[in-house]
Amino acid sequence: MYTWKVTTITMRDPYPLRPVSSDEFKTWAHMIANTYGLDRRDADLEHERSTIELERTIAAFDGASPVAGAAIYTRSMTIPGAVQPIAGVTWVGVSPTHRRRGILTSMMRKQLTDLHESGGEPIAMLNASEATIYGRFGYGIASHAAQFDGEKRFMGFRPDIDVGQGTIRLLNRDEARPLMEKVYDTIRIERVGWVDRACKFWDARLYDEEHVRNGATALRFAVHKEPDGAVTGYAIYRYHSEGNGTVQVKELAAATRQAYAALWRFLIDIDLYLQITYEGAIDEPLPYLLFDTRAVRSTVVDRLWVRLVDVDRALAARRYAIPLDVVFEVEDPFCPWNSGRYRLQADGDSVTCERTQASADLQLTAAELGAIFLGGTTLAQLSAAGLVKELRPGAVATCTVAFRGEREPFCPTGREFPAY
């Protein structure tokens, strides 16, 4: 009689995932930069190291060498009716030598699972380098930006535009920074898509070594002051001399419509440089300050992609434009803890979102909920594309109104989100 011995074989993960150490950071960062065809100087990496949170990084290793990575910046963002902690996903890359091996999927699953199991941020956001990548992980396009390009000689102001009685002064960076910080913090809590900007993120925003300027000048800082001395706006811009010369507006913030108009008139009136460029909101007022609204052209691009880590916590965190009582049936194969039915009830500041056995009004995936979360992409758009199934007549129309905001969501960080 034979006695059979059963041996359990544990398969080793060929590319184990873990955070990077301080000593590994440069190697990891250079590897990720290489996945985008970029060169990073050591001085740049030392600067970026000041903002990175090593405990929130992920590296996939082949032996001792990192071959992929991702990271999270701890940020907060204004969402409809609230300011909410978010996980800003960044530094995502897989070495060309190790693609098509499931490493990216493993990293994305680990990020989201860790957030869920730890009770971390209920919302993750990123900018997508390629639009085909992140939908399969449950991210949806939640905001867009307009890339404006104008020929200044045609950008005459309407005579009835009120620019107020304030003045604009050019300041150096050290003089301008505390004033800009105050304006930014005043504005951001009221504007959906704006993120917090702690000291280290301001350092990143104003990092301006010559090799990062792409042939343009150093940053300039224009600050708008009211007659009583209150600072109500600023513009950060550069000059680029190629072609007809361009004023490259990097960031513009204004607490009043008069300050907004005054800053734009100042920028448009700058001599010698005939073009002006700017990335703003898709409902930017700029064209309507002008005689000829066609004098400034725009190209719309996707920006923030949103992933609801925990559907119930995320939907309960924001506010809604009208009273709402709706049941969603959510499909989420990538984060299966989200799959199921949720009843969302909202009336002003009273908002609850709980699991339910009630009949569903709408059927959709977590990606569609992420897309509508900031109030930009509408449920009606997604329904027209066949991505939402309406199970109760009128539910799409009601939710479209409820999720919308007064203005389009916009993040002034642009493609650099969440780095500053």
Is residue 338 situated within a structural domain?
yes
Helix (H) or strand (E) holding 301: strand 296-302
**Residue 152 burial class via C-beta count within 10 angstroms: exposed 0-12, middle 13-18, buried 19 and up:** buried
Residues 138 and 149 in one domain: no
Domain boundary (301, 326, 342) is at 301
Residues 356 and 289 in one domain: no
Residues 28 and 50 in one domain: yes
Domain boundary (244, 277, 301) is at 301
Give yes or no for a contact between 40 and 33, defined as CB atoms under 8 angstroms apart. Answer: yes
- For position 152, what pLDDT does the model report? 95
Is residue 340 situated within a structural domain?
yes
Residues 228 and 336 in one domain: no
- For position 166, what pLDDT does the model report? 97
Residues 88 and 157 in one domain: no
Residues 247 and 314 in one domain: no
Give which of 382, 187, 406 is closest to 283, Cα–Cα: 406
Is residue 206 situated within a structural domain?
yes
Q: Which tokens hold the place of 248? A: 């490259």
- Give the count of domains, the chain: 3
Range(s) of the domain holding residue 396 = 310-403
| 193-226 confidence digits (pLDDT tens) | 999 999 999 999 999 999 999 999 999 999 999 9
Strands (E), 348-415: 350-355, 362-365, 389-390
Residues 132 and 189 in one domain: no
Residues 368 and 226 in one domain: no
Residues 158 and 273 in one domain: yes
CATH code assigned at 324: 3.30.1050.10
Is residue 408 situated within a structural domain?
no
Residues 150 and 297 in one domain: yes
What percent of the chain clears pLDDT 90, i.e. is strictly above it? 92
CATH code assigned at 48: 3.40.630.30
**Stretch among 7-21, 42-56, 98-112 having the lowest mean pLDDT:** 7-21
Residues 363 and 255 in one domain: no
Question: Can you state the percent helix, strand and coil of the chain, rounding each to 5?
Answer: 30, 30, 40
Give yes or no for a contact between 372 and 379, defined as CB atoms under 8 angstroms apart. Answer: yes
User: CA torsion 131→132→137→142, rounded to 10°?
Assistant: 30
Position 12 confidence tier, pLDDT thresholds 50, 70, 90? low
Position 263 confidence tier, pLDDT thresholds 50, 70, 90? very high
Residues 223 and 252 in one domain: yes
Is residue 3 situated within a structural domain?
no
- For position 9, what pLDDT does the model report? 39
Is residue 107 situated within a structural domain?
yes
**pLDDT greater than 90 at residue 231:** yes
Query: Across the chain, which distance is largest between two alpha carbons, in Å?
Result: 103
